[in-house]
Amino acid sequence: MTDELTSLLGSIGVFDKVTSRRSAMRFKGSVQTAGEIAGDLGVDALVEGSIFFSSERVRVTVALIDAGRDNQLWSDSYDEPLVDILDLQRRIVREIAGAISRNLDPEVSVRMAARSPVDPRAYRAYLRGLDWLNTSNDDEGWQFIETCFLESIAADSTFAPAWAGLAEVHVRRTHSKSGIPPADAIPAARKYLARAMELDDSSAEAYLTQGHLAWEHEFDFARGEAALRKSISLNPNLSYTRLIYAYLLTCSGRHQEAADQVEKAWELDPLARLNWVGVYPLVNAGRFETALRLIDHVAEQFPDWQEAVYLKASTLQWQGRIDEAAEFLESHPDRQMSVGESCLLARLLYLQGRRERARAILADLEPVVDDPFEFTAVGLAALATGEREAARRWAGRLDRSAVDLPWQSMLLHAALGDLDRAFAQLDRCYELRVNWITRLGFIVERKDNDWNAFRSDPRYAAFLAKMGIAG
C-alpha cells in the first residue's frame, strides 16, 4: 500500500518531489531525526504511519511531519472496508494535499474522487507482485511476479493495475538470459496492456509500459517517446520511467537530455538499486564523474551488487584513465573475477604494454568459458589484444552454438570485418525484435573495438534510418 500511496502522491502534480518507498523504507526503525532522514532523502516533509489488514477491513494511521521543525502538520486515522482501499488511498492523498493548502487541478480532482472498489484478494496479490517487480532481476523472480498478477486478475478481472503490471513484466522478461523470447513475450504484453488501458487510460504505469514496448521492441522511437512523456506528465515522480526515457534518448543520440533524466531519477529515488542502469547514458554524455559517483553510491547501498567492479573499471577506461582502471580491477584479489572483468583487464594490460600477461589471461579463459553468452566478450577482447585468430575461433564457437544469439554474433563479426555475416545477423535481430539493436548507434561509436569498416558500410546508415536512430 505504501507504493500505491507514494505513486498517487507523485501523480497529483502539487509536490516537487515524492521519494519512492524503496528509498524511504531504508529508514524504517531508524533512530535518526525527521530532519536527518529528510536531509538524506532531499525532501522537506515526511509521511509516516501504519497499516493493518484484517480479513475484510483495513486500518490506517497517517501523519504529515514538517521535517525542518520536526513537528506534526496533520494526522488522521481510518477504518474502512478493504474493498474500498483504492478510494481510501485517494482520500488520504487529497487530505495530505489539503493539509498544506495545495489545490488539486480540476482534472486530478475528478480522478481522485472516482470510486473504484476492488476485491481484497486481487489487491493483496497485486501488492505482492509489485513489491517484487521493483527489486527482481532474474527469471525466477519474474515468474513469481507474473503468478501474483495473474492471481490478482483471477480475483478481479477489472483491476487495471494488475493488467499493466503483467504487461510490464513480460517486457522485462525479454532482458534476462533465461527469459521469454520477444516473439512470445511481446504479443502477450500488447494484449495485457490493451486491457489495462481499456480499464484505466490515466495510468502513468500503463503509459510507461506502452513507451517501453513501443521503443524497445516495436522500434517506434517517436511513439515510445510520446508514451513515456505522457507517463511523466501523469506522474513526474516515477523514477523508473525516467531511466527508461533516458535510454531512449541516448539511443537517439540525445545524450545530454538522457543524462539529465538519469540525474532526475537519482534525485527522486536516491536509494534505488536500479539507478545503476543510468551509468551508460551518463557515460555517453561525457559525465564520467557523475557516473562514477553513482556507481559508488549504489555499491555502498547494495554490497552484493556484483557488477559494480566491472562497471567502475569500464567507466574509468572510457574516461581514458587506463592505469587507474587496471589498478582498480587488480585491487580485488580476494574475489574471483568474472569473465567480463577478465576480458576488460586483458584489454587494459595490453594498452599499458603488458601484452604477454594480457594474452595469457585470455588463453586461460579458452578452455573454461562454455557459456555462449560470454563468447563475444572473449572474442572481442582477443581481437583488441591482437589475437585475430583466437577471435575467429570464438566467432566459430558462437555460430556453432545451440543457442541462437544473433546480436552477439553480429558484434563479433562486425569487429572482425565479416560484414556480410554481420549485416545478415543484424537483419535477424530486427526480425526477432531483439531489443539490443536499439543501442546500436552508441555501442559502435565507442573506441574499444575497431568498428570503422562496419560503420562506413552504406548498410549501416540505412539500418539506422530504418530504426529511427541518429547516425
Q: How far apart are CA 51 and CA 437, in angstroms?
A: 45
How does pLDDT run across 307-329, given as a tens digit for each residue?
A: 999 999 999 999 999 999 999 99
Q: Decide if 235 contacts 204 (C-beta within 8 A).
A: yes
Q: What phi and psi values does residue 450 have, to the nearest 5 degrees?
A: -90, 100
pLDDT beneath 70, residues of the chain: 1-4, 7-17, 20-27, 29-31, 99-116, 134-137, 178, 333-334, 447-448, 470-471
Q: How far apart are CA 356 and CA 344, in angstroms?
A: 15
Amino acid at 21: R
How does pLDDT run across 244-284, given as a tens digit for each residue?
A: 999 999 999 999 999 999 999 998 888 888 889 999 999 99
Provide the pairing of β-strand 45-53 with 57-66. antiparallel
pLDDT score, position 106? 62
- The contacts of residue 293 (CB under 8 Å, 6+ apart) are none
Q: Decide if 160 contacts 183 (C-beta within 8 A).
A: no
- Grid cell digits, residue 155: 480475483
Provide the pairing of β-strand 71-81 with 45-53. unpaired
CATH number of 1-117: 3.40.50
Rounded to two decimals, the pTM is 0.80
Q: How far apart are CA 25 and CA 37, in angstroms?
A: 11
Tell which phi-psi region holds residue 101, choosing left (phi > 0), alpha (psi between -120 and 50) or beta: left
Q: How far apart are CA 436 and CA 316, in angstroms?
A: 23
* DSSP per-residue codes, 26-86: GGTT--S-HHHHHHHHT-SEEEEEEEEE-SSEEEEEEEEEETTTTEEEEEEEEEEEGGGHH
* DSSP per-residue codes, 4-23: HHHHHHHHSS--S----HHH
- Grid cell digits, residue 49: 504511519
Amino acid at 79: D
pLDDT score, position 70? 73
**75: part of which helix (H) or strand (E)?**
strand 71-81
Strand partners, 62: 49, 76
Q: Which fold has domain 306-399?
A: 1.25.40
Please give the C-alpha separations between residue 391 and each of 326, 340, 352, 377, 396, in angstroms, as whole numbers.
22, 15, 21, 10, 9
Virtual CA dihedral for 215, 221, 222, 223, nearest 10 degrees? -20
Q: What phi and psi values does residue 65 have, to the nearest 5 degrees?
A: -110, 125
pLDDT score, position 18? 74
Q: What phi and psi values does residue 417 have, to the nearest 5 degrees?
A: 90, 10
Q: Decide if 464 contacts 441 (C-beta within 8 A).
A: yes
Nearest C-alpha neighbor of 3 from the set 304, 263, 204: 204
